Structure 1
Amino acid sequence: MTSPSLAKLTDDLSQPLDQTALRSVDRAIGELRRGDPVLVEDLEGRLALALSVEAVTAEALEELRKSAGAAPVLAVTRPRAVAIGLPGQQAPVVTLALTGGLDADAIHALVDPTRRTSEGPGPTLSVAPAELGTREGAAVALAKLARLLPAAVVAPVRPPRGATAGTWAAKHDLMLVRARDILDYQTHAARTLTLVGDAAVPLVDAENTRVLAFRPPDGGVEHLAIVIGDPSAQDGPALVRLHSECFTGDLLGSLRCDCGDQLRGAIAEIARQGSGIVLYLAQEGRGIGLVNKLRAYQLQDEGFDTVEANEMLGFDADERVYLPAAEMLRQLGFSQVRLLTNNPDKLRQLARCGIEVIDRVPHVFPSNGHNEAYLKTKAERSGHMF
């Protein structure tokens, strides 16, 4: 029997693509990263202005109030709500109100655990009524897609009688984006990856190597397939490594993680076995982005482990998605793989995406004196098999 999660994924993948929807989300991501608000519309046609918390200043907050004509609330993820002292939350996104209203300093103190604030009592919190529907969830999801802190200031908007969402957005020079399009974005973007580059790139441990670049339809960052040797589905399941980009480990040789060892080790092992593929996925820091990963490192230096640091920032322990990997494998002609990994979640996720994992090949490297705690957390908190 098909599981509910797989059934939902299959249903999502059966829906027709809307290229306009993908472009609108991509443009909204850009607006949010520039510090501008966007207008979010839910399925019922209700509207809300959303602003990234990283862009909040006293002036920006006042402008948001004036434009919306209503008091904004702060939308945070459940992990962040728990971290700031609101346990027992069930919804994935929680809306917060402050006694006396929101102000910029209180917002930054509530959403950024790396921000240093003056001593004194913290703001008095209350959970705001969830009358915003899916709009606050979509606003936080958009902040995640933008690789910003996963929180947003959201204010409901009620346009004058007779005004449409489009005309109101145009009048206020705002990007209008549908909540549903934001929430479906990763699924739909992964479905339409396009091969845009393919070249021979001889490597130190694997001279017979090609690198193929797959670009999402919104023009975002490419995912790469490092094809070693000449793997063919006719010869059986390919030996595959899923590797999420790690600027600090892969490029700089950081000792805080084992990513560089895993990448170079995978290339060498695949070459030794004759052929296979390393999928280099554009999802830095387990999907939270480089800047947020640096914030997580700061929290780890204060005594939190990897999982706790991500959750302190408001993220899940692992935000990665593997639909792009599955789509790349399908385009390369593979539906069955031998997976080079220690992470059982990768086995489950690929299976959810329709790729059969025939075998798990262990991929273990010794600690280096700096990453013992990191590897211990992987094993104890994330179930990695070392």
Structure 2
Amino acid sequence: MTPPGSLATEPPSDVTADPRVPGLRQVHRAMAELRRGTPVLLRGRDACLVVAAAETVGALGLAELTHAARQPAVLLLAPVRAAAVLQRPVPHAPDDDGAVALRLPPSLTAPETLRSLADPTAERLLPELPERVTVPPLAQAAIALAKLGRLLPALVAAPATEAAAARLSLLSVDAADILDYPATAATSLTRVAEARVPLEDAPEARIIAFRAAEGGIEHLAILIGTPEKTAAEGGAPLVRAHSECFTGDLLGSLRCDCGPQLRGALARMAQDPAGGVLLYLAQEGRGIGLVNKLRAYTLQDGGLDTLDANRALGYGADERNFLVAATMLRAVGVERVRLLTNNPDKIAGLTACGIDVLGREAHAFDPNGVNDGYLKTKALRFGHLLPE
């Protein structure tokens, strides 16, 4: 028994019951460090890399990174962003590790200039173009960590040692845990709260909140009627995987069709005898986050479409993780579904995660005069099944 006032030397048994928690927790902390402009150390089997986010790092963070580094720092960018900075195509090489490294001359290491290299919406007045150099080990994990933190995938990085990082009290995290994080967090989702919430379009509604083991952001399942009963009897309720959209769902933005899709799905499920499940997923902007979605809007106002705007920021066309949706469906007892979607990728994604998609229910809404180009891009470049 631990004497009063002393510290326990052994953790409670429930703290270490889930072996996934330490890795998830450390990655979550690393995201927070990058967001506040502090460098972190990525550990690999044979190498270490100290990194800082280009859009948040300041003079102190750059000084810490320099003191931890054992080689000159480089700027890591996603290849699509690097092509814009270099003003030429950047062919992908097998050993690039999902990133491009650019040499940073002394004149380009000020925090303000780093942000302009990272963010295509910022003013770019560069005295010279950086030179492409060899990509350091663990670059893929570095880019992945920035994306997990909803930051621009652009990092100042340098090989380092654990001892040097420890002297500066920098957080260290295993690169493998970063790469595994999306799947690990998704499969660790558990129900944390549930309440009956009558909705305007669906009076018989319940909301169930899910949270991952590391305590990150919550995802919601909105159950209309009794879809779990339908599933238990061998039926297939309607299901929609809906990525949250602050601008469309809450503000009524005309730039997208998210608001009408959300309300239309709830109303349609309320009218279906089998009921339905609307998964409200914390994956704003196809997984790039609200801030980056606003940046993408700025680029769209300059002439890019949705897909090219995301790529210009350094993100893929779609960064969502459908394992989140599959885990939530299993948790509410629904594994056979009729999917309410126009997106074939959602069908493929859920099917790959073991959900039995019996059929697709079309879910299209007419253009409003503002989102016409957005809907056209969905059809032509994302392959959505929309009416002509």
TM-score, length basis structure 1:
0.89
Q: Which amino acid aligns with 1:81?
A: A
Q: Structure 1 residue 141: deviation in Å?
A: 0.8
Corresponding residue of 1:9: none
Corresponding residue of 2:258: 259
Q: Structure 1 residue 109: deviation in Å?
A: 2.8
Corresponding residue of 2:208: 212
1:107-142 per-residue CA deviation (whole Å, 9 max, x = no partner) reads 323221100134xx6532322112x22x22111111
The question of whether the paired residues in 1 share the 8 Å contact of 2:40 and 2:171 is answered with yes
Aligned-residue Cα RMSD (Å) equals: 1.7
The question of whether the paired residues in 2 share the 8 Å contact of 1:306 and 1:374 is answered with yes
The question of whether the paired residues in 2 share the 8 Å contact of 1:82 and 1:89 is answered with no
For 1:249 and 1:217, locate their aligned partners in 2 and report how far apart those are by CA, in whole Å.
29
Q: Does 1:56 align with 2:57?
A: yes
Task: Name the stretch that deviates more: 97-106 or 81-90.
Answer: 97-106
Corresponding residue of 2:183: 187
Corresponding residue of 1:3: none
Q: Which amino acid aligns with 1:336?
A: R
Q: Structure 1 residue 307: deviation in Å?
A: 0.5
For 2:105 and 2:74, locate their aligned partners in 1 and report how far apart those are by CA, in whole Å.
11
Among 23, 26, 46, the residue aligned to 1:24 = 26
Corresponding residue of 1:12: none
Give the secondary structure class of the aligned counterpart of 2:339. strand
For 1:180 and 1:153, locate their aligned partners in 2 and report how far apart those are by CA, in whole Å.
20
1:285-311 per-residue CA deviation (whole Å, 9 max, x = no partner) reads 110000000000011111111001101
Q: Structure 1 residue 70: deviation in Å?
A: 2.4
Among 141, 148, 152, the residue aligned to 1:149 = 152
Give the secondary structure class of the aligned counterpart of 1:299. helix
Q: Which amino acid aligns with 1:198?
A: E
Q: Structure 1 residue 100: deviation in Å?
A: 5.5
- Percent identical pairs in the alignment equals 52
Q: Structure 1 residues 122 and 308 mapped into 2: Cα distance closer, same or farther (>3 Å)?
A: farther
Q: Structure 1 residues 102 and 138 mapped into 2: Cα distance closer, same or farther (>3 Å)?
A: farther
Unaligned runs of 5+ in 2: 1-17
Give the secondary structure class of the aligned counterpart of 2:55. helix
Give the secondary structure class of the aligned counterpart of 2:351. helix
Q: Structure 1 residue 94: deviation in Å?
A: 1.2
Give the secondary structure class of the aligned counterpart of 2:77. strand
The question of whether the paired residues in 2 share the 8 Å contact of 1:225 and 1:328 is answered with yes
The question of whether the paired residues in 2 share the 8 Å contact of 1:341 and 1:362 is answered with yes
Among 172, 175, 179, the residue aligned to 2:171 = 175
For 1:55 and 1:264, locate their aligned partners in 2 and report how far apart those are by CA, in whole Å.
37
For 2:20 and 2:217, locate their aligned partners in 1 and report how far apart those are by CA, in whole Å.
20
Corresponding residue of 1:284: 284
Q: Structure 1 residue 59: deviation in Å?
A: 5.0
For 2:19 and 2:359, locate their aligned partners in 1 and report how far apart those are by CA, in whole Å.
33
Corresponding residue of 1:11: none
Corresponding residue of 2:103: 97
Among 32, 35, 38, the residue aligned to 2:37 = 35
Corresponding residue of 1:113: 120
Q: Structure 1 residue 82: deviation in Å?
A: 2.4
The question of whether the paired residues in 1 share the 8 Å contact of 2:194 and 2:206 is answered with yes
Give the secondary structure class of the aligned counterpart of 1:55. coil
1:249-328 equivalences under 5 Å are 249-274=248-273, 275-328=275-328
Q: Which amino acid aligns with 2:203?
A: E
For 2:165 and 2:134, locate their aligned partners in 1 and report how far apart those are by CA, in whole Å.
25
Unaligned runs of 5+ in 1: 1-15, 159-164
Q: Which amino acid aligns with 1:300?
A: Q
Q: Structure 1 residue 48: deviation in Å?
A: 1.4
Q: Structure 1 residue 102: deviation in Å?
A: 4.4
The question of whether the paired residues in 2 share the 8 Å contact of 1:74 and 1:153 is answered with yes
Q: Structure 1 residue 43: deviation in Å?
A: 2.1
The question of whether the paired residues in 2 share the 8 Å contact of 1:211 and 1:227 is answered with yes
The question of whether the paired residues in 2 share the 8 Å contact of 1:336 and 1:357 is answered with yes
For 2:368 and 2:311, locate their aligned partners in 1 and report how far apart those are by CA, in whole Å.
26
For 1:169 and 1:278, locate their aligned partners in 2 and report how far apart those are by CA, in whole Å.
45
1:252-292 per-residue CA deviation (whole Å, 9 max, x = no partner) reads 11111000000000000111112010000001111000000
Q: Which amino acid aligns with 2:129?
A: T
Q: Which amino acid aligns with 1:138?
A: A
Give the secondary structure class of the aligned counterpart of 1:54. coil
Q: Which amino acid aligns with 1:19?
A: V
Q: Which amino acid aligns with 2:27?
A: V
Number of equivalenced pairs: 359
Q: Structure 1 residue 106: deviation in Å?
A: 4.1
Give the secondary structure class of the aligned counterpart of 2:157. strand
For 2:84 and 2:356, locate their aligned partners in 1 and report how far apart those are by CA, in whole Å.
38
Q: Structure 1 residue 168: deviation in Å?
A: 4.6
Q: Does 1:129 align with 2:138?
A: no
Task: Name the stretch that deviates more: 62-71 or 109-118.
Answer: 62-71
For 2:263 and 2:158, locate their aligned partners in 1 and report how far apart those are by CA, in whole Å.
48
Q: Structure 1 residue 22: deviation in Å?
A: 0.7
Give the secondary structure class of the aligned counterpart of 2:131. strand
Q: Structure 1 residue 69: deviation in Å?
A: 3.6
Corresponding residue of 1:202: 198
Q: Structure 1 residue 18: deviation in Å?
A: 2.5
